[in-house]
Structure 1
Amino acid sequence: MPKSAKYLLVGSTESHSGKSATILAIAHHLQEMGLDIAYGKPLGTRWATPQSAHTIDKDVQFVAEILHLPENRLQPTILSLDEATMQKRIQGHDQVDYPQKLLEYHQMQAPDLVLLEGPENLEEGTLFDLSLARVAEILDAGVLLVARFHSLLIVGALISAKRRLGDRLLGVLINDIPEERLAEVETSVQPYLEQRGIPILGLLPRSDLLRSVSVGELAKQLHAEVLCRSDRLDLMVESLKIGAMNVNSALKYFRKGRNMAVVTGGDRVDIQLAALETSTQCLILTGQMPPPADVLSRAEDLEIPILSVDLDTLTTVEIVDQAFGQVRVHEPSKVQYMYKLMGEHFQMDRLLEDLGLGSTVSVQQ
């Protein structure tokens, strides 16, 4: 009789917590140990093409490419969480037994471990009887929760998650912790949660690189016109600066920044030229005023894209800030850095023991 696969379901308490990056890093380390890994995302949210019978979620596509997974190591996405699908369910036009469809995952010739990316939070998928807890129950999966640190409110959220997941919760990875709060999380938050049966398997410090967003993504979010160097939209932006002061103050301000996007008015030529001489990855000009030729020429020489937006400065800043908060890990530099972070700050051995895979790794090494 073939062995049944072991499942690790990676979930989160909120969206954009870092599930895909965590899965990539865990899978990479396990592959290096010689384990046979499979991956799936039962609930799809990000489609690479208009949906058809052969569509694939963008996260699934990306993870499969990075890990070089063959088709027989990819589990199907059985449901798209979009408005149309939810309307059909609410109106009674969708009577599919999704838990039964999920059970078909067991038909795969068993790898050592199947890594599954869970819903965005603990409630998502409930309409289809596929919440995080329910998926874990159906597949007899252990759960690893990924949570971003915003404040001490994380403690209550994780205690609540433990009550809902029970013994299926193998542990928590807390990430995006500001440097000035790392010691506090390590010396008070971690022991408090551990005493309440919530294992903390990793504490990841905040990283400007992981939070960075490409100039191309900013252009897309802002519906911006690219005035020059459209070939450099892959540059990564780590911080945002607003150029609204006099040029001397601006220069001091910009010199403190690193890999910046600078938002300023299209009429502020002095600020534009000052920004181009510092660590600026792109200029974002508001007011739909084209910059003069000398600014465009200097930007061309320095390979710095200039974006023009039909928005006021406040709206522009809000959109860029939101882009930083929702950044994904779909850049090779971020993937490599996540491998490094997880190697240094995540208790992989403890997770393997909890999954019952410690002996498997020992044999294969």
Structure 2
Amino acid sequence: MPKSAKSLLIGSSEAYSGKSALILGMAHQLQQKGLKIAYGKPIGTCLSENVPNQPIEEDVQFMAQTLNLPDERVLPMLLPLNEATICRRITGSDTTNYQQRLQSYTTPTGVDLVLIEGAGTLEEGKLFDLAVPQMAQALDLPVVLVSRFRSALVVDSLLAAKARLGDQLMGVLINDIPPDQMAIVESQIQPFLLRHGIEVLGLLPSNDLLRSVSVGELVHQLGAEVLCRPDRLDLMVESLKIGAMNVNSALEYFRKGRNMAIVTGGDRADIQLAALETSTQCLILTGHMPPSPTILSRAEDLEIPILSVDLDTLTTVEIVDRAFGQVRLHEPIKVQAIQQMMAKHFKIDQLLTMLGLDPVATV
């Protein structure tokens, strides 16, 4: 009778902490060590509803493709988390025992480790008994938690998670640590957490590329019209600038930026030209005014897309800011970056020891 696979539950203290990045980097290392892995996300939170009544979990699709997982190692979504499923649950028309269904996640054969991705926060999914603490307790699963570093108060959320999860919290990864904070995290925060029974499995520095968004994603979020270079929507945007000053000030301002999206009025040809001569990945023109042929020609030559939006500047900036705050990893260049970072900064051998897995024995 084949031995059952070990399972590991990956959670996060808040949404967009870097959970998918942790799984992607970890899975890549495990595969390189010869382990056979399976992956599943019981609660679907990144849903594509292109087919009516058949929501697809985009993160699961992406993870399966990126890690080259065969179908039998991609576990089914148990529940799409949307208004319809929530309504059915709170009105009592859905009485499904989701924890019972979850048992299938711990019983696949022919794999060494099942990576189970929790929802966005520790609380999300509680209505369906599928929050991370509920799954960990019901199935006796070890948990690795990822938390984004915003300040030294990251210890608060990790101490709270330890109180919720107890001994099932196997370790944590602290993500997005600014370079000037790394020494403090290593010398003060990490020892503090260890004294409180929290193992730190990785400290990931901030990375501008990982926080960037593609021009194509901005087109999607803004509902923008692409006026030129639709072939360059794969360019990555790391920062946002607003061009609303005189041209001399704008040029000095733009030169301080790198890989920018610049928002300016469609009637500001002087600002547009200045932007094209700096590290600009796309121009976003508001006011629904077309740029001059000179601007379009120059942008074509420099391979810089120009987007036109039927929005005011404030709304445009808010949408782009939100896109930066909800960055995902679906670009190949980001996949490569996170794999390199995890290989350097994540203690994969320590994790394997804690799980009782021997990579040599599984090859």
Distance 2:86 2:50 in 1: 17
Which residue in the other structure is 1:271 paired with?
271
Which residue in the other structure is 1:252 paired with?
252
Distance 1:265 1:99 in 2: 53
SS at match of 1:209: coil
- How far is 1:184 from its partner? 1.6
Q: Would you say the 8 A contact 2:40–2:105 is kept in 1?
A: no
Of 353, 359, 362, the match for 1:361: 359
Match status 1:7 vs 2:10:
no
Mapping for residues 51-62 of structure 1, pairs under 5 Å: 55-62=55-62
Q: Would you say the 8 A contact 1:102–1:138 is kept in 2?
A: no
Which residue in the other structure is 2:31 paired with?
31
Q: Deviations over 1:245-279 (max 9, x none)?
A: 22122222212211110111111111100110111
SS at match of 2:249: helix
Which residue in the other structure is 2:132 paired with?
132
Distance 1:302 1:218 in 2: 19
Distance 1:4 1:253 in 2: 59
Which residue in the other structure is 1:221 paired with?
221
Report the CA distance shift for 1:179/1:255 in structure 2 as closer, same or farther (over 3 A): same
- How far is 1:2 from its partner? 2.5
Identity of aligned residues (%): 64
Q: How many residues align?
A: 363
Report the CA distance shift for 1:97/1:43 in structure 2 as closer, same or farther (over 3 A): same
Match status 1:115 vs 2:106:
no
Match status 1:204 vs 2:204:
yes
Match status 1:19 vs 2:19:
yes
Q: Would you say the 8 A contact 1:276–1:299 is kept in 2?
A: yes
SS at match of 2:209: helix
SS at match of 2:240: strand
Q: In the alignment, residue 221 of structure 1 is paired with which amino acid?
A: Q
- How far is 1:52 from its partner? 6.5
Q: Would you say the 8 A contact 1:12–1:122 is kept in 2?
A: yes
- How far is 1:310 from its partner? 2.1
Distance 2:360 2:34 in 1: 10
Q: Would you say the 8 A contact 2:286–2:312 is kept in 1?
A: yes
Q: Would you say the 8 A contact 2:5–2:107 is kept in 1?
A: no
Distance 1:110 1:276 in 2: 54
- How far is 1:243 from its partner? 1.2
Unaligned runs of 5+ in 1: none
Report the CA distance shift for 1:344/1:107 in structure 2 as closer, same or farther (over 3 A): closer
Q: In the alignment, residue 20 of structure 1 is paired with which amino acid?
A: S
Distance 1:87 1:50 in 2: 21
Q: Deviations over 1:192-231 (max 9, x none)?
A: 1111011111111111100010111111111222111122
Q: Would you say the 8 A contact 2:33–2:360 is kept in 1?
A: no
Distance 1:243 1:114 in 2: 49
Q: Would you say the 8 A contact 2:211–2:327 is kept in 1?
A: yes
- How far is 1:364 from its partner? 4.2
Q: Would you say the 8 A contact 2:6–2:106 is kept in 1?
A: no
Distance 1:214 1:60 in 2: 20
Report the CA distance shift for 1:323/1:55 in structure 2 as closer, same or farther (over 3 A): closer
Across the aligned residues of Structure 1 and Structure 2, the Cα RMSD in angstroms comes to 1.5
Mapping for residues 1-365 of structure 1, pairs under 5 Å: 1-50=1-50, 55-357=55-357, 360-364=358-362
Q: Would you say the 8 A contact 1:7–1:139 is kept in 2?
A: no
- How far is 1:47 from its partner? 2.5
Further displaced range: 246-255 or 85-94: 246-255
Q: TM-score, normalised by structure 1?
A: 0.96
Q: TM-score, normalised by structure 2?
A: 0.96
SS at match of 1:35: coil
Distance 1:56 1:70 in 2: 17
Q: In the alignment, residue 143 of structure 1 is paired with which amino acid?
A: V
Further displaced range: 45-54 or 76-85: 45-54
Distance 1:330 1:268 in 2: 34
Unaligned runs of 5+ in 2: none
Q: Would you say the 8 A contact 1:103–1:138 is kept in 2?
A: no
- How far is 1:305 from its partner? 0.8
